[in-house]
Structure 1
Amino acid sequence: MGVQGKKWMYLLVLTLIWGSSFILIKKGLVGLSAIQVGALRIVFTAFFLFSVGFKRMGEIKKQHWKWIALSGFLSSFFPPFFFAMAQTQVDSGVASVLNSLTPLNTLLAGTLFFGITTSRKQAYGVVIGFVGTLILILKGAEFNPDQNYWYSILIILSTLGYALNVNIIKKHLTDISALAVTTGNFVFIVLPAFIILWATGFFETVMASKEMQLSVLYVTILSLFGTAFAKVLFNKLIQIASPVFASSVTYTMPLLAILWGVLDGESFSFLQLMGGCIILVGVYLANNRKK
């Protein structure tokens, strides 16, 4: 299969995996706290990655480590906590749509910090995308007055972390394998996550609660596929495609995530759906550059 075919195959698989991640987070929160979901996700993912990727870390040279550490905290440490905390107040479908800001923030980060030039069409896409975000958040707060939409800020911060990570990998880490990069990320973040998990009292209570044990199962599935496998696949995609193409997996993720949410009893207002569509229009424009 050629490079172009691989790009689209990776994009499809990531859509299926990450589109299902939001409902898994929601199910994990039934028996676990948001902090426990985030920490457990990191610890489980590290275990899976170390078991298959430890030998590949020999590829990492001295000059790589600072970028791998920064990449790890931006993309793999803070977002699991932020998304779990946000989804205590915001529906999983809304979280997935807000995650679509990643390509827009990737473009902004590339322009502001990495010297990537931006076309006028892409700039319009960024503006349109953020207009859609405001509509989604404000109308969502009206439609669901029992939910605290200020928590949406945590998702937006996560997309900024993802955006910086994409540009860091593209500029500084394309000469080592995706598995080495991803495993190296977790070398730095697994110990803090384990300490946080231990401090929550997780190990003293998990065996006494069937509800917690079921939630642990959901987080295990999320960690193995939604974090470990998907992150390696995503890093491969970054290395063979443009940063904005790689992050445009968020085009199709919301469709699957919203479907999961509706099946689980969530509802969207018409204006929320309009805001989500406006975001995706902005992402489309931002992902298109004049030849």
Structure 2
Amino acid sequence: MPFNIPNSRLKYIYLVILSIIWGTSFILIKKALGQDGDGNLTLQPLQLGALRTMVSGVILISIGWNSFAKTRRKDWPWLALSGLLGTFFPAFLFAYAQTEIDSAISAILNSTIPLITLILGAVLFGISFSKRQLLGVIIGLTGAVCLVLAGMENNPGQNYLFAGIILIACCCYASNVNIIKRYLQNIKPLAIATANFVFILPLALIVFFWADGDRLDFTSDAVLRSLGFIVILCIFGTVAAKIMFNKLVQMTSPVFASSVTYLMPVIGLTWGILDGEDFSIWQVLATGVIILAVILVTREKKKPASD
């Protein structure tokens, strides 16, 4: 490991970097969708999700094929499921949601992932949790509801039912975290990321042509601008971040890895405000409630000092 940084410190470095990268992803999705003077989208959500998956897939497969080739066939079903839940479905769900709600709201709702990770870990994977963590889940879900209600009042022109799409995407991410920790612990992060795209790239190609992606005018300035944002999103928000996140899950626990969402709301909110999105004081308070809940859920018990 570069500079021989111990894992106890390296995990926090990964956490901060991932928070910044993924906190910026939501504004990049918004910019990639694009919009003309009449309010029409440059790219449709299906086209954006497919292009994001295709570009990321080409990059990852080109650099990680040898790593994928060493994986065992018995692990392929879990690698494929990880690709669907951790990348494929969320790419489309977030694109659809952000046609109706602000990027800042998406970033904040995304911070419920540790809460959902804990719930799914207990229900599906038999992972125990403490009373403090249960309290955190209740507080966090209450904060999410308050955030949506405040958003509906502050932005009546937006359809906040689409916030439910964000929560579905969060369930996908939370399931993927538990799958990586339980079934893919001994596979290298690059191999996991590459395998994900080996299995979902053909699906993305089908969706792209089904959504008339081949009819896009790739010579127009608007489409080229959207592609530029997609490339940035793919290189940093998908390829680099996915490899780092897989490593973080293996180094720590599913809930700790999900606490990457500590800083994401702050980063996403900052980008949203800079882009002119409206945000009320009630939404700020609801955001604080969600972050408090995430801290309660992910805070690890202090171990007694040994002599």
TM-score, normalisation: structure 1 = 0.98
Identity %, equivalent residues: 45
Which of 16, 22, 25 is the aligned partner of 2:20? 16
- Cα deviation, residue 82, structure 1: 0.3
CA distance in 1, matches of 2:69, 2:206: 27
Determine the structure 2 residue equivalent to 1:58.
Answer: 69
Determine the structure 1 residue equivalent to 2:116.
Answer: 105
Is the Cα–Cα contact under 8 Å of residues 59 and 176 in structure 1 kept in the other structure?
no
CA distance in 1, matches of 2:28, 2:147: 22
- Cα deviation, residue 59, structure 1: 2.9
Is the Cα–Cα contact under 8 Å of residues 155 and 278 in structure 2 kept in the other structure?
no
Is the Cα–Cα contact under 8 Å of residues 121 and 289 in structure 1 kept in the other structure?
no
Structure 1 residues 210-221: aligned runs within 5 Å: 210-221=221-232
- Cα deviation, residue 36, structure 1: 1.0
Q: Which amino acid aligns with 1:70?
A: L
Which of 234, 247, 250 is the aligned partner of 1:223? 234
Which of 8, 19, 35 is the aligned partner of 1:4? 8
- Cα deviation, residue 113, structure 1: 1.0
Determine the structure 1 residue equivalent to 2:29.
Answer: 25
Which of 139, 145, 158 is the aligned partner of 1:147? 158
* Unaligned residue ranges in structure 2 (runs of 5+): 35-41, 303-307
Range 207-216 or range 78-87, more displaced: 207-216
CA distance in 1, matches of 2:220, 2:300: 53
> RMSD between aligned alpha carbons?
1.0
Determine the structure 1 residue equivalent to 2:305.
Answer: none
Q: Which amino acid aligns with 2:217?
A: V
CA distance in 1, matches of 2:209, 2:187: 33
CA distance in 1, matches of 2:217, 2:115: 40
CA distance in 2, matches of 1:258, 1:216: 24
- Cα deviation, residue 208, structure 1: 4.2
* Unaligned residue ranges in structure 1 (runs of 5+): none
Which of 58, 80, 85 is the aligned partner of 1:74? 85
- Cα deviation, residue 124, structure 1: 0.3
Say whether residues 1:240 and 2:259 are aligned partners. Answer: no
CA distance in 1, matches of 2:210, 2:143: 39
CA distance in 2, matches of 1:205, 1:111: 45
Determine the structure 1 residue equivalent to 2:194.
Answer: 183
Is the Cα–Cα contact under 8 Å of residues 95 and 152 in structure 1 kept in the other structure?
yes
Displaced runs of 4+ in structure 1, greater than 6 A?
none
Determine the structure 2 residue equivalent to 1:49.
Answer: 60
CA distance in 2, matches of 1:205, 1:41: 15
- Cα deviation, residue 289, structure 1: 4.5
TM-score, normalisation: structure 2 = 0.93
CA distance in 1, matches of 2:192, 2:146: 37
Name the count of aligned residue pairs.
291
Q: Which amino acid aligns with 1:76?
A: T
Is the Cα–Cα contact under 8 Å of residues 23 and 107 in structure 2 kept in the other structure?
yes
